[in-house]
Amino acid sequence: MKMKKHSIFGSALLSTALLLGACGDKEEVTDAVDSSQAQKEFGFQAFDLDIDTAEHNDAIDASFDIDVSETEAVYENKLESKKLTGNEAYAELEPIFKDLALTKDMSKEDVIAKVSKAFGAENYTEFELEVEFSDGDNQEFLDKK
């Protein structure tokens, strides 16, 4: 009887561990994303944007990161009442990133103008963007109005 009790407990513990592991990270993009293709199309492997407006602090919060083992995406847009993670965030961000066509040799002014327009926040009060380009070059773009 003692052996059976441990066997049931062990099975329950293992099942719980497997279930929790299967839940995964809600920010992880699990839809088929070819990371090398995404880097070529977007020109970057990490993108972290925070925009404040007069009406909202953190009006726009968008982050995207291609890592060796996973891709993560988060998109919150208070101006449009959107709060997305994972696959849904990636689906929303992908066309924006393709249209941006950011390059590391663009001027600070051009990057800020293109990104704020793409996210519908030209009237920002504070703009902060960190980009890691495909070649590993990190750049930060800051502005306050």
CA-to-CA distance for 18 and 131, rounded, in angstroms? 35
Angle between helices 35-42 and 86-100 (to 10 degrees): 40
Residue pair 62/79 in contact by the 8 Å Cβ criterion: no
Q: Could you report the average pLDDT of every consecutive run of 10 residues in the chain (145 residues)?
A: 44 36 64 79 95 96 91 95 96 95 95 97 97 95 96
Residue pair 85/27 in contact by the 8 Å Cβ criterion: yes
Q: What pLDDT is attached to residue 136?
A: 92
Q: Is the pTM of this model over 0.85?
A: no
